[in-house]
Structure 1
Amino acid sequence: MLMLSAKKYVYYLPGENNSAKEFEASVNSLIIIGANGSGKSKLGAWMERQNGEDVHRIGAQRSLNFSEHVPLKSYEEAEGEFFYGSPYSDHWGPDKGVRWDWGKSDTTKLIDDYDAALSALLAQQNIDRHHFFDACRKSEEEGRPKPHTPQTVLDKLYAVWHAVFPHRGLIEEDAKFSAVFQQGDEKQLYPGTQMSDGERSVLYLAAQVLCVPENKTLIIDEPEVHLHPSLMGRLWRALESARPDCLFVFITHDVQFAALHKDSPRIWVKSFDGANWDWDFIPNSDLPEQLLLELLGNRKNVLFVEGESNSYDVQLYSALYPDFYVVPSGGCTQVIANTKAFASTEGLHSLKAYGLIDRDYRSEKELEALKRKGVFSIAVAEVENLFLVKPLLRVVAGHFACCNVDEAVNKVIDHIINERFRGQIGRQICQATVATLKAQLSALDFGDVDNDSVSDRFKEAVGSIVPEEELERQKARFEGALSRQDYDEVLRLFNAKDASSSIGHFFGVDNKQYKEKVIGLLTGEAREKVLEALKPFVPVISA
């Protein structure tokens, strides 16, 4: 796994019958991601075995303990310790021999090589200094100007550390690493053995990366271990920049970290049967990168819904559709777009994706067309109206036992129909008419046109839409529901998000807290009653 040329890196993945198939990358990082148990770590071990001499793999199980004074060794001995697992040449080999118990614990062994990595780092520092000293001596002997001081491996380490911890320094004195921080006018030190897990992890990973010989492939299993997300991105950006000669292969669960590597090839590991991997490259998608990776990592079918995280609709739908991974997507347009986009990635997974939107002012024809695309609608105008349906009102009235159930429910129905709906009916009719006309315009088909016919075709198509007729149709629907006092039809037509925030007092609770109280019932003994009350008003979607 050597760098071919500038900006070209080679790596191997299993092809047919696990034969090594060669790939190229133009950036020095590769992301491998997948669900727990999908075989990601074992794939990393397989990649190492293809060319062990050119690959250094940092396992997920790694010890962060090291000696206060780093053992000083020759570079050859230290390199053998951390790269092969033994300083003795008879243990060296492409299978890494003792490092992974000769393959018995490729992905499970706790690697205790912190001292070895720091020893190799200091040995490399001594080599750098020795070369500089020799160059200066030779320049003196030949009467030439001395060379400029080079950037040593410790200089690179300090630069990486500063990129991650800009307000905390790092020094090495007499084979002892210490952290430095400013306290008032004085600098305070504490030994490396007293560093936090995050600090020790940064030092460990930086040492591993910086002392690896040139043009290696570095496989890092779970780069997020012991690192806060805010530190992880800074660390690996700094290390990738410090070692442009090396290819970094990250095996990760962290979708945010994976999404940060936008230009890197990304491998989705679907499954591993003990002998073979099912994997694929993650293609470009209209879904946000982080969302796509998150969805691929879950084991449930996906349901895109309107609303934001922790909104009432998301909480309701999560309870009503427990077999689905419910994803809030903002508005209905984004729900439709996300459902379509995720369906286009079906080659990566066996999951199904559906959408669930408010009915709004859509016609039955529009709703049927969306349903064929996997996008369903609720039986009321908008999700807030689910808090108003008659069966739920009866559950709420019975639970709070504050009044006669029938009396309270009838008061709510009268309030919604004759105060809220009647008071807004004119504006509602106009909004419904405009929404329907927009839908009709967007559905126009002009057929094949040329420069001479485009104007006539447009006028002909638009002329088929008669706003006056649509206005009268909507008036008949809305006024008919009002005159019949048809509560179910009113809830199908009435778009007023604040209506459900006006009825709490009928049940002895604050109006503003009514929806919160209903959501609270979902966590208690009334949960099943609430769900049964709502189910007739939401579509049946099979997982």
Structure 2
Amino acid sequence: MYQYWLPDSNNMRVNHTAAVNSVVIIGPNGSGKSKLGAWIEQQDYEKVHRISAQRDINFSERIPLKSFAEAEDIVIYSRPGAKERKRARWDWGTSYTTKLLSDFDDVLAALIAQVSLENQHFIDECKKADSNKSERPPVPKTAQDKLINIWDSVFPQRKIEYEDAAFYAIPTNSSNRYSATQMSDGERSVLYLAAQVLCAPQAKILIMDEPEVHLHPSLMGRLWGSLERARPDCLFIYITHDVNFASTHQSSDTIWVKSFDGTKWDLESLPDSDLPKELLIDLLGNRKEVLFVEGAEGSYDKRIYSVLFPNYYIVPSGGCEQVINNVKAYNRTRSLHAIKARGIIDRDFKTDKQLCAYENSDVYTLQVAEVENLFLTKEVVEILAKRFAVNQEEVFDNIKHYVFERFEKQLAKQTSGALVAGVKEALSGISISDNDQLTSDSIAASINIEATEANVRNRYQEAISGHNYNAVLSLFNDKSIATSVGHFFGIDNRIYIERVICLLEGELKDELSKALAPYITLCPNNQFDTQAKRSATY
């Protein structure tokens, strides 16, 4: 177990234990995270070594060599012989979070001196073994060996080596080496951080402020995982606003900095939740109500709902089931109860019974089968026809005829999809008691496939025979329709949807938002403006 401490509401030190050697402190910019790191260090200067986010990653081509004791004092205390006055490292407390650390040469000097000590110890042990005529000890792994192993795990395409007070970089499959001072910012940052960790005294708490600085996200896990394994005696406390980095430490204590008033912090441990850790961390600092939607970042769903619901924090969640699961998990997470979460999903082939059940869990459905069908509604078509200077009535009639034609051609496929959904719903409702012994016949009898099929066919036939355009859009699952109507407006089919969304996000925002509102709502008692609109035939 590892010991660390945090302030309580009165800034009194409260001790904590960690099961693994890493703790993540996360919060938005300006939330007082760096000041919190400084507070932790101030409680025990000897136990804690803090590496500021303000760090100079330039170093000399030839490292000025020092004794290990001198170099270590400079790295840990800022000057030789200052162990009793560590505040000198931070200009006597005037720049705990703002001072630029310019100690790269000293860090490398400490690493080199440590390697010399390790090599000398090995030689002494070998001499002792020879004098006792006993077996020599195995060759140990020095700090330099560990540095090279860590480097290779992070940058397999480039080697690093040390010779005569200088570090060199060597591209893979090349013998041409060059000074490591000419490496990229990310490479020099890795060298600096690895050297800092490897030459730190035993059993320190190492506070890493903004561990992501200069590093590409793809390198983060490899670097810090390697360093944590190299120093199991040390506890790493990471101070970050990087959600992706925090989510890579699944087993670590995660501390959320909720707020800071300039003197005191409001801290909370990451709550238990069924939400993915990355998503939970991302949502912790949010102050808006949350709306989980289908799709991914940049999808139609995210872009449309971001415009229509500007007061919500929109979270794309992939498929329908994930939206439902996220809403339930979010609303079960106690620390987030002050903020409501809802979800919007496509109607697809869902039955009325399913839709009612979803509403009870704060998940609502579109009034069209798929989000793409929103671009086929009469209101949207007429606005765009006017925008593209074509006859509104003619364009809508043509699109309506085209949609009905496609729907009738696919009627067998569409009704089959709805029938499968109805049967799945019926199967999911079968309960089994200890005395039940279900058979295929009893299952078939309990779900009444014939009645389900008749209900499906009636709904689809009524939509066609009643010439109910809205009903067809609520039943028709075919994402390709909306990508094949652009020519009715005189534009390329492939750009139609993108043009609509751009206009929704831009100059026709108000007009299109109003047109779409009846088809997308988060009000359970007003899924459509009126029943008349819901059954409109147009």
Displacement, 1:273? 2.4
After TM superposition, the structure 1 stretch with the greater mean CA deviation from structure 2, 158-167 or 191-200, is: 158-167
The alpha carbon displacement at 1:194 in A equals 1.6
Match of 1:4?
A: none
Give the 3-state SS of the residue equivalent to 1:482 in structure 2.
helix
After TM superposition, give the deviation of residue 285 of structure 1 in Å.
3.1
**Residue of structure 1 in register with 2:327 after alignment:** 339
Q: Determine if contact 1:280/1:348 at 8 Å carries over to the other structure.
A: no
Q: Are residues 119 and 210 of structure 1, via their aligned partners in 2, closer, same or farther at CA, if it must alter by over 3 Å?
A: same
Contact kept, 8 Å, 1:270 with 1:348, in 2: the verdict is no
Task: Please report how far the alpha carbon of residue 476 of structure 1 lies from its aligned counterpart in structure 2 after TM superposition.
Answer: 3.5
**2-structure distance, mates of 1:254, 1:509:** 42
Give the alignment partner of residue 27 of structure 1, picking from 20, 45, 54. 20
Whether 1:372 aligns to 2:360 is yes
CA distance in 2 between partners of 1:511 and 1:153 (Å): 63
1:490 pairs with one of 472, 480, 498:
472
Unpaired segments ≥5 residues, structure 1:
1-7
Contact 1:66–1:114 (CA under 8 A) maintained in structure 2: yes
TM-score by length of 1: 0.88
SS at match of 2:111: helix
Aligned to 1:302: 290
Whether 1:86 aligns to 2:79 is yes
Task: Work out whether residues 57 and 192 of structure 2, in 8 Å CA contact, stay in contact via their aligned partners in 1.
Answer: yes
**Does the CA contact (< 8 Å) of 2:154 and 2:219 recur in 1?**
yes
**Cα distance, 1:363 vs. partner?**
4.1
From 401, 411, 424, the counterpart of 2:398: 411
How far apart, in 2, do the equivalents of 1:27 and 1:125 lie? Answer: 28
Q: By how many angstroms is 1:387 displaced?
A: 0.9
Residue 425 in 1 paired to residue 411 in 2? yes
RMSD, aligned α-carbons: 2.7
5 Å matches for 1:308-327?
A: 308-327=296-315
Deviations 1:214-258 (A, max 9, x none): 111111111111111222222212211211111111122222222
Cα pair distance change 1:124/1:349, threshold 3 Å: farther
In the other structure, the counterpart of 1:503 is 485
Any conservation in 2 of the 1:296–1:349 contact (CA below 8 Å)?
no
Relative to structure 1, is the Cα distance of residues 477 and 348 closer, same or farther in structure 2, using a 3 angstrom cutoff?
closer
The letter for the 1-side match of 2:24 is I
Distance 1:126 1:541 in 2: 72
Query: Aligned partners of 2:153, 2:417: CA distance in 1, in Å?
Result: 55
Assess, with a 3 A threshold, how the Cα gap between structure 1 residues 492 and 159 changes in structure 2: closer, same or farther.
Answer: closer
Partner of 2:65: 72
List per-residue Cα deviations over 1:36-84 (Å, max 9, x = no partner).
Answer: 2233222222221222201111111111122222222222222221111
Matched, 1:51 2:44: yes
How far does residue 210 in structure 1 lie from its aligned partner after superposition? 0.9
Give yes or no for contact 2:271–2:334 (8 Å, CA) kept in 1.
no
CA contact (8 A) 1:132 1:150 kept: yes
In structure 2, the partner of 1:133 is: 123
Following superposition, the deviation at residue 145 of structure 1 comes to 4.8
SS at the partner of 2:189? helix
Task: Read off the aligned partner of 2:424 and give its amino acid letter.
Answer: K
1:536 and 2:518 matched: yes
Report deviation, 1:129: 3.0
Conserved 8 A contact 1:270-1:349: no
8 Å CA contact retained: 2:111, 2:144: yes
Aligned residue type for 1:169: K
The code of the aligned residue for 2:147 comes to: L
Q: Is the 8 A contact 1:35 1:298 kept in 2?
A: no
- Secondary structure class of the residue paired with 1:18: coil
Structure-2 separation of matches of 1:196 and 1:350: 45
The code of the aligned residue for 2:55 comes to R
* Helix, strand or coil at the partner of 1:21: strand
Aligned counterpart in structure 2 of residue 381 of structure 1, from 369, 372, 375 = 369
2:100 counterpart SS class? coil
Aligned to 1:3: none
Counterpart of 2:148 in structure 1 is 158
Distance 1:391 1:47 in 2: 60
- The residue aligned with 2:198 is 210
| 2:51 counterpart letter in structure 1 | I
How many equivalent pairs are there?
524
CA-CA distance at 1:140 after TM superposition: 4.4
Cα 1:475/1:148, change in 2 over 3 Å: closer
Shift of 1:479: 2.5
Please give the secondary structure, in 1, of the residue aligned with 2:14.
strand
Q: Conserved in 1, the CA contact under 8 Å of 2:258 and 2:285?
A: no
Give unpaired runs (5+ residues) of structure 2.
Answer: 525-538
Which of 428, 435, 439 lines up with 2:421 in the alignment?
Answer: 435
TM-score, length of structure 2 as denominator length? 0.89
Q: Which residue of 2 aligns with 1:514?
A: 496
In structure 1, distance between residues paired with 2:162 and 2:55: 23
Measured in 2, the distance between the counterparts of 1:85 and 1:173 equals: 26
User: In structure 2, do the counterparts of structure 1 residues 404 and 122 end up closer, same or farther at CA, with 3 Å as the change threshold?
Assistant: same
Q: In 2, Cα distance between the equivalents of 1:442 and 1:404?
A: 49
Conserved in 1, the CA contact under 8 Å of 2:35 and 2:96?
A: yes
SS in 2 for 1:11: strand
Q: 2:112 aligns with which of 110, 122, 131?
A: 122
Which residue type is aligned with residue 413 of structure 1? K
Residues 147 and 441 of structure 1: CA distance in aligned 2, closer, same or farther (over 3 Å):
closer
1:105 paired residue number: 95
The offset of 1:361, in angstroms, is 3.6
Asked if the contact 1:255–1:293 (Cα under 8 Å) also holds between the matched residues in 2, the reply is yes
- One-letter identity of the residue aligned with 1:356: I
- 7, 17, 25: which one pairs with 2:10? 17
SS of equivalent to 2:115? helix
Separation of aligned partners in 2, 1:14 and 1:334: 37
